[in-house]
Amino acid sequence: MDPLPSWNDGAAKSGILDFVARVCAQGGPDFVAPAERIAAFDNDGTLWCEYPLQVQVFFALAEVKRLAQQDPSLLEKPAFKAMIDGDVKTLMSLPKKDVFEPAFATHAGMTVEEFHANAWRWLRQAEHPKLRRPFLRNTYAPQRELLDHLRANGFKTYIVTGGGIEFVRVVAQQLYGIPPEQVVGSSTRMKLEDGADGMVLRKLPELGSFDDRDEKVVNIALHIGRRPVFAFGNSDGDLPMIRYTLGGTGPRMAWLLHHDDATREFAYDRDFRLSALRDGLDRAAELGIGVVSMQRDWNRVFADGDETPNGGNA
Amino acid sequence: MDPLPSWNDGAAKSGILDFVARVCAQGGPDFVAPAERIAAFDNDGTLWCEYPLQVQVFFALAEVKRLAQQDPSLLEKPAFKAMIDGDVKTLMSLPKKDVFEPAFATHAGMTVEEFHANAWRWLRQAEHPKLRRPFLRNTYAPQRELLDHLRANGFKTYIVTGGGIEFVRVVAQQLYGIPPEQVVGSSTRMKLEDGADGMVLRKLPELGSFDDRDEKVVNIALHIGRRPVFAFGNSDGDLPMIRYTLGGTGPRMAWLLHHDDATREFAYDRDFRLSALRDGLDRAAELGIGVVSMQRDWNRVFADGDETPNGGNA
């Protein structure tokens, strides 16, 4: 049975199947011990749709009005102001870190459990404004098959995301079969409180780690303590993690997903400031990175429900 | 077959065996899903000997002379000076964080791989000055049996240590069967470098996290993302982690190891500044924490090789 039915025959699909087979061939020259079979996946734009804004930024849009009422000084920050104004154009023009700041601020003051409940309340019903489908149905079918195939062959699959670690943990098990301890992401600082209800962790309005670019590698070392042998991303923010993966000894494989499918999803790369793919495209061949074309390599995009053409207007 | 042969019959042993059986009894009132069976163990003094100084502090003692030659200003710091002078008394009187500082400084400037190699060079041959045995033979047999028993029953075992995360990772698989991704500990900041040999992480002379007391809980949330159901420590530095563990819903169990065996190991608790057990002893019953007596509950102390009486002089 084909473990990757949503992948079209071609170099990407056969490359992946061949790599997994080689890594698992006991006694073969490319055998990798099961404990070393670590696969790292970006989330936004790699496992689910991130256009025109990351899911967590949409969440922040919904949350931020409540915050600005409590603290009007927030409106002095461009990303907050743009959110309140519903000004997606301005948001898309700001640096990624600025745009995520309100998303992290929406954690502040809550316990981890409260944040999970709050995020889940939104996630379970919120819809993507262009695709007109629940965000939870915007995961990519081919990637879920790939995660399953890797795990069936002894890989431990990790998410290494620029998004909030607690935000992604709310859905990672359900959507991707990835448990919380295998989610690495951006984080706020936390404080332990010893209250009437026992010990709880409260999220502080202070960034702990912005898990993007080099920081993804730092956090892989901190959380996993091993160099992955397989990595999958979709933007220049994933390049350090991909290059770190490919830089180890023994068999290695890494991919970048190219969003070139304006009919079924969106077409964007170099000019998408929030998650540009520029160096990755220019240097993929030189660096030994494979490029997966959504249009060419996937016969199905979304894991859940019908494909709804979005009108082609990225 | 008895899974805990180094444990004497008594409340501790039967309590542990009973807890594990209840948690695994499908359909029973205390059943815990395998994914939620998280066990957190302190390392120093819980899994291996930490007296009169933690193993990593002995390592720092060996390393710090080299550092002070490069940077004589280090001698202005009391812990560095005491180390150079071999002044264990002064070291034992300083706050834990100060004493660990040189240990973290011995990482600085090295890549993670270089640090591993350097630590291993020392660890594989260094001897405990009082017990006159290699440090690697100072792990506790009863605890290794307990780790095995938990894992055989679907638990995921973690180390949550005040020691350096990379230091403990060097030996955790070999000594305890715990892979690097299940070691949580203190850490230095790191920097990704893109050099001639590819991408490497270099350790900076800057503390990232001192994984003691409340910070153990914060790091459990960050790395594991679940509240453990079982915890084992030996000092007040472990109390927050233990109380956090016990504070969850459903069946919970936590233990403190009491070092009361001056014949086979050491006897110390309230006055051991580097890792005092004071509140833990006073409040164990009130907080629902079990106390394991090394003398009473263990018929064997060290996992590897003969017991050598140490003369009883803690």
Residue B314 sits at the chain A interface (C-beta within 8 Å): no
Closest Cβ opposite residue A181 in set B190, B218, B226: B226
Task: Tell whether the model's pLDDT for residue B69 goes beyond 50.
Answer: yes
Is A311 exposed, middle or buried, given 0-12, 13-18 or 19+ CB atoms closer than 10 A? exposed
More confident residue, B300 or A73: B300
What is the rounded distance in angstroms from the CA atom of residue A43 to the CA atom of residue A54?
10
Q: Which residues of B touch A156 (CB under 8 A)?
A: 181
Cβ contact, residue pair B247, A169, below 8 Å: no
**Per the domain annotation, does B102 fall within a domain?**
no
What is the rounded distance in angstroms from the CA atom of residue B147 to the CA atom of residue B128?
24
Q: Which residues of A touch B252 (CB under 8 A)?
A: none
pLDDT score recorded for residue B279? 97
CB B36 within 8 A of CB B142: no
Domain hosting residue B271, numbered range? 11-51+134-297
CB B157 within 8 A of CB B176: yes
* DSSP-derived secondary structure for chain B: --S-TTBPSSHHHHHHHHHHHHHH-TTSTT---GGG-EEEE--BTTTB---SS-HHHHHHHHHHHHHHHH-GGGGGSHHHHHHHTT-HHHHHHS-HHHHHHHHHHTTTTSBHHHHHHHHHHHHTT-B-TTT-SBGGG-BBHHHHHHHHHHHHTTPEEEEEEEEEHHHHHHHHHHHHS--GGGEEEEEEEEEEEEETTEEEEEEEEEEEE--STHHHHHHHHHHT-S--SEEEESSGGGHHHHHHHHTSSS--EEEEEEEE-TTTS-EESTT-GGG--SHHHHHHHHHT-EEEEHHHHBS--BSSS------S--
φ/ψ (deg, to 5) at B48: -145, 165
pLDDT band for position B313 (cuts 50, 70, 90): very low
**Per the domain annotation, does B203 fall within a domain?**
yes
Closest Cβ opposite residue B222 in set A187, A217, A226: A187
- Look over chain A and give the mean of its residue pLDDT values, rounded to a whole number: 93
Task: Tell whether the model's pLDDT for residue B306 goes beyond 70.
Answer: no
Residue B154 sits at the chain A interface (C-beta within 8 Å): no
pLDDT score recorded for residue B314? 40
What percent of chain B stands above pLDDT 90? Answer: 77
Taking CA–CA distances from A165, the nearest residue in chain B reads: B222
CB A223 within 8 A of CB B179: no
pLDDT band for position B220 (cuts 50, 70, 90): very high
**Per the domain annotation, does A73 fall within a domain?**
no
Task: Tell whether the model's pLDDT for residue A245 goes beyond 50.
Answer: yes
Query: How far does the CA of residue A248 sit from the closest CA of chain B (Å)?
Result: 9
Portion 103-142 of B in contact with A at CB < 8 A? 112
Burial A117-150 (b: 16+ CB within 10 A, else e): ebbeebbeebebeebebebbbbbbbbbbbbbebb
Residue B287 sits at the chain A interface (C-beta within 8 Å): no
pLDDT in tens, A165-192: 999 999 999 999 999 999 999 999 999 9
Cβ contact, residue pair B224, A181, below 8 Å: yes
Closest Cβ opposite residue A223 in set B181, B192, B208: B181
More confident residue, A69 or A13: A13
Residues 6+ apart with CB under 8 A from B130: B52, B310, B313
What are the tokens at A275?
A: 């998650």
What percent of chain A stands above pLDDT 90? Answer: 77
Cβ contact, residue pair B225, A156, below 8 Å: no
Residue A28 sits at the chain B interface (C-beta within 8 Å): no
Residue B306 sits at the chain A interface (C-beta within 8 Å): no
Q: What is the mean pLDDT of residues A7-31?
A: 98
pLDDT score recorded for residue B67? 79
Task: Give the largest Cα separation in chain B, rounded.
Answer: 64
Burial A177-214 (b: 16+ CB within 10 A, else e): ebbbbbbbbbbbebebeeeeeebbbbbeeeebbbbbbb
Supply the Cα-derived Rg of chain B in whole angstroms.
Answer: 19
Is B199 exposed, middle or buried, given 0-12, 13-18 or 19+ CB atoms closer than 10 A? buried
Residue B208 sits at the chain A interface (C-beta within 8 Å): yes
Query: How far does the CA of residue A210 sit from the closest CA of chain B (Å)?
Result: 13
Residue A272 sits at the chain B interface (C-beta within 8 Å): no
Cβ contact, residue pair B201, A192, below 8 Å: no
CA distances A249 to A4, A252, A283, B99, B197, Å, are 27, 8, 21, 37, 11
CB B139 within 8 A of CB B146: no
pLDDT score recorded for residue B311? 43
The amino acid at B160: V
Contacts 24+ apart (CB under 8 A), B24-31: B24/B153, B24/B154, B30/B250, B30/B251
Distance spanning both ends of chain A, measured CA to CA: 36
CA distances A85 to A37, A50, A62, A72, A240, Å, are 46, 21, 12, 14, 35
Q: Which of B110, B167, B192, B210 to mutate to test the interface with A (most CBs of A within 10 A)?
A: B192
**Per the domain annotation, does B64 fall within a domain?**
no
**Per the domain annotation, does A312 fall within a domain?**
no
The amino acid at A163: G
**Per the domain annotation, does B124 fall within a domain?**
no
Reported ipTM exceeds the 0.90 cut: yes
Task: Tell whether the model's pLDDT for residue A107 goes beyond 90.
Answer: no
What is the rounded distance in angstroms from the CA atom of residue A3 to the CA atom of residue A8?
12
Task: Tell whether the model's pLDDT for residue B310 goes beyond 60.
Answer: no
What is the rounded distance in angstroms from the CA atom of residue A186 to the CA atom of residue A207?
8
More confident residue, B112 or A68: B112
**Per the domain annotation, does A82 fall within a domain?**
no
What are the tokens at B219?
A: 């790091």
More confident residue, A287 or A75: A287
pLDDT score recorded for residue A308? 57
More confident residue, B120 or B305: B120
Closest Cβ opposite residue A112 in set B183, B208, B221: B221
Task: Tell whether the model's pLDDT for residue A299 goes beyond 90.
Answer: yes
CATH number (domain holding residue B140): 3.40.50.1000
**Per the domain annotation, does A208 fall within a domain?**
yes
Task: Tell whether the model's pLDDT for residue A66 goes beyond 90.
Answer: no
pLDDT in tens, A204-224: 988 899 999 999 999 999 999
Task: Give the residue among A120, A77, A119 at the shortest CA–CA distance from A99.
Answer: A77
Looking at the 3D structure of chain A, how many domains does it have?
1
Helix orientation angle between A239-246 and A279-287, rounded to the nearest 10 degrees: 0
What is the rounded distance in angstroms from the CA atom of residue B27 to the CA atom of residue A291?
48
What is the rounded distance in angstroms from the CA atom of residue A295 to the CA atom of residue A79?
32
